[in-house]
Copies of this chain bind each other. A is one copy, B any other.
């Protein structure tokens, strides 16, 4: 593309366009936004990226991303007390649970779900590492997504954990808080009715 401010700008656009949620058009808008706010946004963002490149590592214990390995969650002694280990597919799920304030728990990031069609088997996930550390905990909560692959993965892990004497649970299915029944699928509604609680 000629005239769009040289190779440096073009390269920045192409790299930003590879972020999820940004296409070529929004990447161009983002780059112009950055250039217009050089001191206020572009310089701090460049510095933040440089620092993240230097400092961010994956936790060898749980798979979380942090500036140390083991991460701040794995090394926080208060988080050992509950004895609860929450197994998630992805770091994004770990962050979502932390934002929800689920309490002083620890996590294990699987790094995906079993998917024979995509050639993803148990050895591609951190299931062996999970089995190895599971006995440190009293309860394993399988907080995988409520998809077919997620549930298959949960079943596989439950089988693997059966030999250890552990409480294995999963998240409740039901009506999302603030959700309208009218818009819910039948599967969720029938699960919510089965798992009804007394008032």
Interface string of A6-44 (1 = CB under 8 A from B): 111101100110111110001011111111001001111
Q: How far is the CB of A184 from chain B (nearest CB, A)?
A: 22
Indicate if the CB atoms of B46 and A9 lie closer than 8 Å.
Answer: no
A58, B35: Cα distance in complex, Å: 9
A64 at the interface (CB under 8 A from B): yes
Determine if B67 and A8 form an interchain contact, defined as CB atoms under 8 angstroms apart.
yes
Task: List A34-87 residues whose CB lies under 8 Å from chain B.
Answer: 34-35, 38, 41-46, 48-53, 55-56, 58, 64-68, 71-73
Total A residues in contact with B, Cβ cutoff 8 Å: 58
Q: Whole-angstrom distance between the alpha carbons of A35 and B109 in the complex?
A: 15
CB neighbors of B among A69-122 (8 A): 71-73, 90-92, 94-95, 98-99
> Nearest chain-B residue to A1 (Cβ)?
B99
Please pick, from B28, B52, B56, B64, the residue contacting A92 in the complex, using a CB distance under 8 A.
B28
Given A6-B67, A67-B8, A19 and B30 touching (CB < 8 A)? Answer: yes
Cβ contacts A135-152/B at 8 Å (1 or 0 each): 000000000000000000
Give the residue among A16, A49, A53 with the most B Cβ atoms within 10 A: A49
Cross-chain contact of A49 among B22, B46, B58, B66 (Cβ < 8 A): B46
CB contact under 8 A between A1 and B45, given known A65-B32, A65-B35:
no
Closest chain-B Cβ to A144's Cβ sits at a distance in Å of 17
Complex Cα–Cα for A8 and B12 (A): 21
Q: Given A91-B32, A95-B28, check contact A48 B18 (CB 8 Å).
A: no
Query: Given A19-B34, A35-B56, do A12 and B65 touch, yes or no (CB 8 Å)?
Result: no
Min distance, Cβ A4 to any Cβ of chain B, angstroms:
5
CA distance A22 to B31 in the complex (A): 13
Q: Are B49 and A4 in contact (CB under 8 A)?
A: no
